[in-house]
Amino acid sequence: MGYLVLKQIVTALIDKCASYALQQTLKSQVSCCGTGLHSGDKVSMTLLPAPPHTGIVFRRTDADGHGLEIAAHVDNVVDDRMCTTLGDGNGASIATVEHLMAALSGCGIDNLYVEVDGAELPIMDGSAAPFVFLIECAGVVAQDAPRRAIEILKPIKIEDKDSQVELLPGDGFSLGFEIDFRSAAIGRPAPVARCGAAGWCHLVPIPGGGGGTPCGAGRRWPRARPARPAPWSRGSGP
């Protein structure tokens, strides 16, 4: 009887451990080309798989970057005017990372190397959708390491002038936000988004073109959407 009870306990513990979310990275590397929104420079970017516990790490592969690596960590944010800029504290930086970071978060990517041959990421169509498409092309693989998470135990609210953000305890993750512009052309529309992390990227329409071209990916675009042209492929092809 004791053996059976012990076996049941061990099995339950194994099942519980297996249910923990695992860290994830890409199955293969994937690349794109585009233009920096603020610099206007042509830039190429490559997303590469990374080992567990790496996090998101940006690498400057251009001559001015000298192979610099900057981790995507709040302590490395050096500017947030008009875009999010990460820096090493010595003057080297990588700008406009927020759209890619949104795509990585929504798709559950924990570990990744991002190689960029310039000081700014390509803007593509101005949303996270092109980066979600690249992640879907490369594929996602689970890694042999549990994902670390922050649990919100009580309400937290921060206000800065006319802006505010509030974190609330909840079951799982959901996000909601509103915008309020003085311009009558925008004003204060209905809540922009309210969705869970597991499926938010499926709410983002894949664009029909414009913003950049795939380069160096070494693969064909998926056949899952044969009725639509591949994003950023007009006039060039994958």
Q: Between β-strands 56-60 and 77-79, what pairing exists: parallel, antiparallel or unpaired? A: unpaired
Question: Which superfamily is assigned to 22-148+202-213 in CATH?
Answer: lpxc deacetylase, domain 1 (3.30.230.20)
Domain layout of the chain by residue ranges: 22-148+202-213, 156-193
3-state DSSP assignment of residue 63 = coil
Give me the long-range contacts of 221-228 (CB less than 8 A, separation at least 24).
221/137, 222/136, 222/137
Report pLDDT digits (tens) over 130-173: 999 999 999 999 999 999 888 899 999 999 888 889 999 987 77
Report pLDDT digits (tens) over 84-133: 999 988 888 999 999 999 999 888 999 999 999 999 999 999 988 899 99
